[in-house]
Amino acid sequence: MHFLVVWGTHDTGLVLSCAFALLVIILAISVAKLPPFLGILIGALVFSACVGLAPARALTAFQTGAGKLLGDSGLIIALGALLGSMVAGSGAAARLVHALLNPGGRPLPVWLLPWCVAAAAMLVGLPLFFEVGLVIMLPLILGIASSARQPVLRVAIPALAGMTALHALVPPHPGPLIAISALHASLGTTLLLGLLIAVPAVILAGPLYGNLLTRYEAYRTIGERNSLSPPNTPNAPNLAAKAASAAQINPDTTGPSAALHSSSAAHSTRAKRQNTLPPLSAAAIIILLPVLLMLARTISELCLPQTTLAAHVLDTIGEPFMALLISVIFAVIVLGWVRRQPRAEIGRTLHDSLPPLAVLLLTIGAGGGLKQVLLSAGIADTISKVAIFSPFPFVVLAWLVAVCLRQATGSATVATSTTAGLMAPLLGGMAFSPGQTSLIALSIGSGSVFFCHVNDAGFWMVHELFGLTLKQTVMVWSVLQTIVSVTGIVLCCVLWPMMGH
């Protein structure tokens, strides 16, 4: 059957209305400076008006979509923030980074520094939101660059790439977990494939791109021109405040807001001053524990009869919510009580990580509401027609939808959750293998970080922390994320036929 036979004026109207609504969201967030939650809500109402959806029905759909998404992911995000606050506040992340960059107490060769910084950033990025990880890594980046007499960006870009790739592709970050839940993908398969794709993406966007960019004078001298202070100097404590200030320039739509950053960084700085960093073994176990529990669940599904007690136990503790809950409790015990930290300080660290989540949760909920309004208007049928007749595989179509939503909303998590919700109804009638379903989830995650620009909180954070011009920020941050995104979709396409039945 020919494409034009099944494509009608209704489909054209839906596509044009959706494009107009995305433009409204971009203008509301970037030009009118409205909070992302409000901008997305306005965009959803504009779309419903364009397609003739009754306001009452549109609002009901928005509330239903927001409630369902937050019901599925809200508690997981809260537990992730609690774990991140303990890892950051105790100095566990800093301990692990120092150990990786100074094996045996000896500094690494200069040529190896960007590669090890990228690896350290990937490990630090496992339990932490991007912004918190950057605040922790920043003093280390500046100190390494200063002591090794290297351009700041040659060290910073690998760190940014490592944390970006983890945020987009690897559980337990909210975006990948939401996509896995919506598409009913295998958690373990997605985690392993995500790591497999993340490593080459980080190599290309990190050490290789960093070395290329710093060949140019304008980028090689950035640290010198802006007089960024290395750690262990009188100005070192101000780095956390500078990072928190940068995070407040634009509403944070991809992680906890500046209050969490400043609190975590302040605790980390205090811990280092008092020389009370936790042991390396404890730091490594806490950071890797949620991933290890999830992998244990996958291994049990492959190797153990599902009727055995061991399989039931591993299935329970490897579920994302339970894995994060166990990790939080373990972190409180090991990083807090065992090290005789005051209970009031532990409680304050945990408590301070929760209020800033309001912006993140509202924005993610708005993304779920927008998805439901689009589905109520019949956008899933329109996308299915495109998928059937498109020359691109379904995995590329999912990536393109995520790219469009990221450009509109400025949030990787919102783009991932909304795209996964739109794609999920289409998977039922398609014979995809479990591996291919995981690749669709990862293609969505890859699309969610394509060319992040002025409506992205991370864009302004990098802009301020490193004293860049807008053009330089585009070259450093936007291009870096685009490399991660394009590498991700290319590898998804390469792996696609291998994951068939």
Q: Which residue has the higher pLDDT, 247 or 161?
A: 161
pLDDT value at residue 403:
93
Are the beta carbons of 239 and 229 closer than 8 angstroms?
yes
pLDDT value at residue 379:
87
User: According to the 3-state scheme, what is the secondary structure of 309-343?
Assistant: HHHHHHHHHCCHHHHHHHHHHHHHHHHHHCCCCCH
Q: Which of 124, 160, 188 is nearest to 468 (CA)?
A: 160
Are the beta carbons of 140 and 289 closer than 8 angstroms?
no
Are the beta carbons of 393 and 117 closer than 8 angstroms?
no
The domain spans of the chain are 3-499
Tokens of 62: 């928005």
pLDDT value at residue 221:
84
Report whether pLDDT(16) > 90.
yes
pTM of the model: 0.80
Q: Give buried/exposed letters for 277-306 (b at 16+ CB in 10 A, else e).
A: bbeeebbbbbbbbbbebbbbbbebbeeeee
Report whether pLDDT(47) > 90.
yes
Whole-Å CA distances, 478 to 246, 361, 444: 17, 24, 18
Q: Which helix (H) or strand (E) holds 167?
A: helix 152-169
Measure the CA–CA gap between 232 and 216, rounded to whole angstroms: 29
pLDDT in tens, 309-364: 999 999 999 999 999 999 999 999 988 877 788 889 899 989 998 888 888 889 88
What's the rounded mean pLDDT across residues 242-254? Answer: 37
- pLDDT tier at 4, thresholds 50, 70, 90: low
Average pLDDT value for the chain? 84
Tokens of 265: 């960084």
pLDDT in tens, 53-83: 999 999 999 999 999 988 878 888 899 889 9
Beta-strand ranges (E) seen in 317-475 are none
